[in-house]
């Protein structure tokens, strides 16, 4: 029986198989453990099941002499020093696919919330300011007939692109690889500059790497039209948040909807006060099906690795 540290108190039925097969230490708080707490608890562990918020860096890895597998409860893994873990013979896994549809749906929901001004209208109504129908009350933009720029056409970006095309939008996409299945539906692969200049709505779906950090900054905002809306359900630091706040305040772009933040859980204060900004607390995969499924995959990744088998999803 191997020893496993689980950094979040999941519902027991979500991780039942792991609890039954191995000696599991479950962190009791929903607030994140500190780096020192992780280091202390991981010392004699064979595996760790961690969240995206948990930094599994070189310092942590060096404390875990018995560690065989790091199972990340997320599709992303920018919280883990994958290269260093791999050099120590530690397998790193993640949980893609199961959350693809949920996150793509959230991105689409944010698009509608933003371009149809739903959050503004909700607040207006709750404040008792609605006095009857008016021809120009909360005018917005229709998705059908618009041009949507998809930055990153992996699993989630492709799913989002398919959804907006079915609703009548044209799609430009920026990706390292050509996506024939999207092009058969009418999407067109372009360079980032063209996408920024021609899109009415821009949706970000990239992982966070040294290359994608601040891929949207002051220079990129200058390329966008004043009627452009920006949506981010990828990673917060894809956007220079200070530059975003300045672009919104100056009217450089029309609005933004964010589910992730550069210094999460911190948020640039000025964004909290803007009516043309929609903010959600990193809920892209927050459906019962996706979140339970992620836990089951994370558990299976650990069990298979400890049995000397290939995990369902290995980060390479």
Domain annotation covers residue 316: no
What is the per-residue pLDDT for 269? 97
Indicate the SS3 state at residue 232.
strand
Residue 235 among the catalytic residues: yes
Domain annotation covers residue 315: no
For the segment 137-151, the average pLDDT, to the nearest whole number, is 98
Domain annotation covers residue 312: no
What is the per-residue pLDDT for 316? 87
Domain annotation covers residue 87: yes
- In a shared domain, residues 138 and 268: yes
Contact yes or no for 173/153 (Cβ under 8 A): yes
CATH code assigned at 57? 3.40.50.720
Distance of CA 101 to the CA centre of its chain: 12
Distance set, CA 61 to CA 18, 36, 51, 147, 254 (Å): 22, 12, 15, 45, 44
CB neighbours (10 Å) of residue 74? Answer: 20
Closest CA to 37 of 80, 2, 11, 6: 6
- In a shared domain, residues 113 and 235: yes
> Whole-angstrom Cα distance, residue 81 to residue 58?
6
Active-site choice (22, 41, 205, 235):
235
- In a shared domain, residues 246 and 268: yes
- In a shared domain, residues 255 and 292: no
pLDDT at 164 over 90: yes
The pTM is what? 0.92
> Whole-angstrom Cα distance, residue 226 to residue 112?
18
Residue 193 among the catalytic residues: no
- In a shared domain, residues 225 and 77: no
Number of structural domains the chain divides into: 2
Domain annotation covers residue 153: yes
Domain annotation covers residue 311: no
- In a shared domain, residues 241 and 295: no
**188 pLDDT tier (thresholds 50, 70, 90):** very high
- Could you tell me the residue range of the domain that residue 31 belongs to? 3-97+288-306
- In a shared domain, residues 251 and 127: yes
Active-site choice (63, 116, 264, 314):
264
Give every CB contact of residue 211 below 8 A, 6+ residues apart in sequence.
Answer: none
177: exposed, middle or buried (Cβ count in 10 Å: 0-12, 13-18, 19+): exposed
pLDDT tens across 33-62, in order?
Answer: 999 999 999 999 999 999 999 999 999 999
Edge to edge, what strands does the sheet with 69-72 contain?
A: 23-26, 3-6, 47-50, 69-72, 91-93
Residue 296 among the catalytic residues: no
Q: Which residue has the tokens 């962190």?
A: 27
Active-site choice (155, 188, 282, 314):
282
Q: Kindly state the DSSP code that residue 206 receives in the 8-state scheme.
A: P
Bin 310: left if φ > 0, else alpha if -120 < ψ < 50, else beta.
beta
How many residues are recorded in the chain?
A: 316
Domain annotation covers residue 11: yes
Contact yes or no for 92/74 (Cβ under 8 A): no
- In a shared domain, residues 61 and 129: no
CA dihedral 70, 75, 79, 84 (to 10 degrees): 50
**174 pLDDT tier (thresholds 50, 70, 90):** very high
What is the per-residue pLDDT for 193? 98
- In a shared domain, residues 250 and 167: yes
- In a shared domain, residues 213 and 174: yes
- In a shared domain, residues 162 and 110: yes
Cis peptide before 265 (omega within 30 of 0): yes
pLDDT tens across 257-291, in order?
Answer: 999 999 999 999 999 999 999 999 999 999 999 99
149 strand-pairing partners = 172, 202
- In a shared domain, residues 93 and 105: no
pLDDT at 185 over 90: yes
Helix axes 118-126, 100-115, angle to 10 degrees: 60
Domain annotation covers residue 82: yes
């Amino acid at each position: 029986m191997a020893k496993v540290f689980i950094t979040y108190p999941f519902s027991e039925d979500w991780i039942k198989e792991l609890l039954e097969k191995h000696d599991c230490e479950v962190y009791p708080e929903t607030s994140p453990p500190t780096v020192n707490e992780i280091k202390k608890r991981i010392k004699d562990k064979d595996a760790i099941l961690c969240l995206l918020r948990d930094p599994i860096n070189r310092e942590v890895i060096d404390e875990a002499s018995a560690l065989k597998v790091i199972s990340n409860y997320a599709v992303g893994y920018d919280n883990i020093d994958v290269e260093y873990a791999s050099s120590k013979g530690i397998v790193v896994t993640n949980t893609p696919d199961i959350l693809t549809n949920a996150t793509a749906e959230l991105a689409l929901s944010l698009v509608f919330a933003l371009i149809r001004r739903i959050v503004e209208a909700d607040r207006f109504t709750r404040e008792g300011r609605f006095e009857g129908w008016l021809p120009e009350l909360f005018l917005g933009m229709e998705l059908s007939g618009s041009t949507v720029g998809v930055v990153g056409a992996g699993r989630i970006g492709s799913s989002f692109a398919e959804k907006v095309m079915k609703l009548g939008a044209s799609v430009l996409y920026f990706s390292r690889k050509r996506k024939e299945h999207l092009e058969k539906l009418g999407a067109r692969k372009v360079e980032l500059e063209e996408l920024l200049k021609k899109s009415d709505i821009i949706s970000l779906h990239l992982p966070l790497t040294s290359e994608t950090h601040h891929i949207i900054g002051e220079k990129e905002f200058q390329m966008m039209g004043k009627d452009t809306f920006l949506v981010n359900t990828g990673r917060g630091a894809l956007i220079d948040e200070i530059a975003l706040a300045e672009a919104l305040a100056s009217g450089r772009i029309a609005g933004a909807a964010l589910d992730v933040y550069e210094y999460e859980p911190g948020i640039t204060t000025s964004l909290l006060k803007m009516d043309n900004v929609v903010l959600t607390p990193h809920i892209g995969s927050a459906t019962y099906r996706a979140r339970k499924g992620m836990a089951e995959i994370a558990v299976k990744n650990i069990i298979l690795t400890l049995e000397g088998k290939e995990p369902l999803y290995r980060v390479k």
